[in-house]
Structure 1
Amino acid sequence: MHDDFAPRALASPASYERRRTEVFWLTFVGYVACYFVRNNTAVASGLLVLEEGWTPLDVGVVLTGFTVTYGLAKLVMGVVVDRSSLRVGYGLALIASAVVCLAMGFIPDVFAMTAAMAVIGLAQGVCAPASLATLGAWYPPWQRSARVAVWNTSQNVGAALLPLLASGAMLIAGVQHWSLAYWVPGVFALAAGVWVLRRGGDRPWREGYATLPERYGADALPEVRGSTDAPYWRLVRLHVLGNRPLWALAGLNALLYLLRFGVLNWIPLYTIGELGFSVTHAAWVMATYEWAAVPGALAFALVAHRWPNRMATAGAAGLVVLAVGLMVYATAGNLGEVLTVAALLGALTYGPQVVINILTLNFISPRAMGVAVGFVGLGGYLVGEVVANLGMPTLAERLGWGGAFAVLGGIALLAALVYWELRRVERRVVPSR
């Protein structure tokens, strides 16, 4: 596929706006459903340890099965996304992961579940590149930042609904039925996948609508080195592999994923094993962490709407406050304190992570957005989440949970410094209007 941005027969502007809104919400709902079939093992981890004799390391291994393949697949599938239908790829990937998740409820074996999570990771490697490439194709940079920030809350909505769906089903059927953590969310994800496949959006010029330059002028494309009309693989070499700010974003993404999953994936074991909470209360903490991320991301969306080229500064400020919050989390004892601090951590982890997606789209040619998203995401999952899954239990064993969270606080400050260094690049390439 080669999109040359040549003029073509265009649909009416009113029709364009309606379709763009529909495409946005389909992309949003689809990504909510993606999170129904990702962290199911983390949600069920307390029961798998109690009922099936698993160890914390077993849980980490299964989680890593998804992490490794997902990180690699985001890069490979990013190339596929750039050169194929966004709607078909997105819908089929979601359907495939939902089917595998449903099957996992029948196999409480560490090896088999690790393999199943690896398959889900391969399938879902399509979803983030397809989502962000869709938004990048429909919105110019001065509108895109706020839309990406709102879309980014989809992962929080999905991740927050997951433990509520699972724990609600288990309260009805019995808390020993850990399989419901896979079956109930899997059914919802399957339905969403079918919907996306039928009605999901593609690039506007593939649907008979205007391209961004046709609609908004030359400012709708980022100021990037090299011609946007170059052959695809040359574009990848120049705009991705030769793009130093993109390398900085990839490293920063690894740090942010380590912060995110260093807290999130270990909430059940930390709160149940260390603080003595019940399974239901642990689910409340996970849900609070995810739900609080929604207003956190929306706050960053407001910043993006008002100052679209000041997002790196906002990310740095949020991470400094997050470092303080991690210290408080390590000392919180009762349920009220833990829920309050979990809300703060959720808002200030996901808020700065929104900025990664915004800057990635703003630093890259529209013809290489899929592979750029995959490239930046590779560090997040292949380094950040792997270290969180395998490193946090090791740190907790050697330093205690307080020491482990102190290490995360230092990582938050390091990430803030990286954001601070990206400020000048952002102001140069993103229009202020």
Structure 2
Amino acid sequence: MTTLAKGGNTAVQVGAVRVVVGWQQGAGVPDVDCTALLLDAAGKVRGDNDMVFYNQPKHPSGAVVHDGKQQAGGWGYDAVSADLRTVEPGVDRIVVAASADGGSFGQVPGLHATVYDTATGAEIARFTEMRATTETAFVVGELYRRQGAWKFRAVGQGWDTGLAGLATAFGISISEEAVAPAAPAPAVPEQRPGVRFTKGEERLPAADRQRLNLRKQQVLVSLAKRGAAGIRARVIVVLDASGSMHRLYKSGIVSQAVERMAAVAAQLDDDGTMQVWAFADLARQLPDLTIAEMPGWLAAQTPKRPSGVGGSNNEASVIDQVRRWTAANPVPDPTLVLFFSDGGVHRNAEIERQLRDAASEPTFWQFIGLGKGNYGILERFDRMAGRVVDNVGFFAVDDISKVSDAELYDRLLGEFPTWIPEVRRLGILR
């Protein structure tokens, strides 16, 4: 990552970027809105469509998108994304600017801009020394072409005439009424390289949405390490609800784990829905977790063990139920089952039979051990011959709440991407 001084520039050697403007929120601090302007070689827009902002969140070419606002930990964020590979030839520069509502940028503490690689979430450049004073519209930086390649320059210059003045300076005829502050536009639910926008995520509280998107970025990083950044999959979560899990439900660890799994589902499948099962002696499918309603779902389903399933362990029963459900509800993508257990596995022969039979199905079973319990056959599947393909992964952690997202997603997604090409080769997945 390069830290840029005002006027500094750096090469952009990736296909798509996200420019995030951040500021510290507080009483009396103006709100900030991001804008992108696509300029020709003369430094002017070619038409009103070349201005991308909250009232016009997507350029007709699809190359530049206003991502929408987020907030977390007392900070506000607004962002625009650009797929540099699809920017029209007539566009020479993409100016990233911001406007302040209710004051000047001199009243906005911590103003900074960060450029991210959309595909990996890695930081490319950061610009923090903007030295704003009376400006109400501010160019934070620009992406520009130089000898067939793209670069980013830290600009840090502005106007005291707001968004209308900024737009006019670049050739857009626009009235103050047309750019009056409005509610942030929801993120466009489109699929493009990098972090996926998920159906319903715009309805989440801002802090929850920020956390979800940071985790989706980390999921993408873990997949990219394995050359699998673009894969899609249906994600199912299975929760141990046996009596020994009582403490993990009561302490909130199960709730936190499910929220972290929802980010995997949101990145791998943008339909905004994840199926969930609970099991003990019996198996029970819980209501689907939808991203839009995630806080309410967690509050309703995870403060205590799901009822009506008994207290002992019968992993084979829930495996059978999930297999029947996936067979009755086929999708063109593979299915990833994230299966949580705190041990006490004893129906080894039944589990082995189920998972051996499941090896010819387009489903990968990733088991996560919570604690130091007896995991029986689950720990031995990696060494077990006689299956058409290795369809099971397993790892255990002492305390999942102390495992970072980076480590957790690396371990969750360690084997799944290598399984996909093998089941495609075998014709199990087409």
Q: Could you state the TM-score of these two structures normalised by the residue count of structure 2?
A: 0.28
Please say which structure displays the higher CA radius of gyration: 2
Higher-strand-fraction structure = 2
Q: Which has the higher contact order (CA 8 A, sep 6+)?
A: 1
Higher-helix-fraction structure = 1
Q: Could you state the TM-score of these two structures normalised by the residue count of structure 1?
A: 0.27
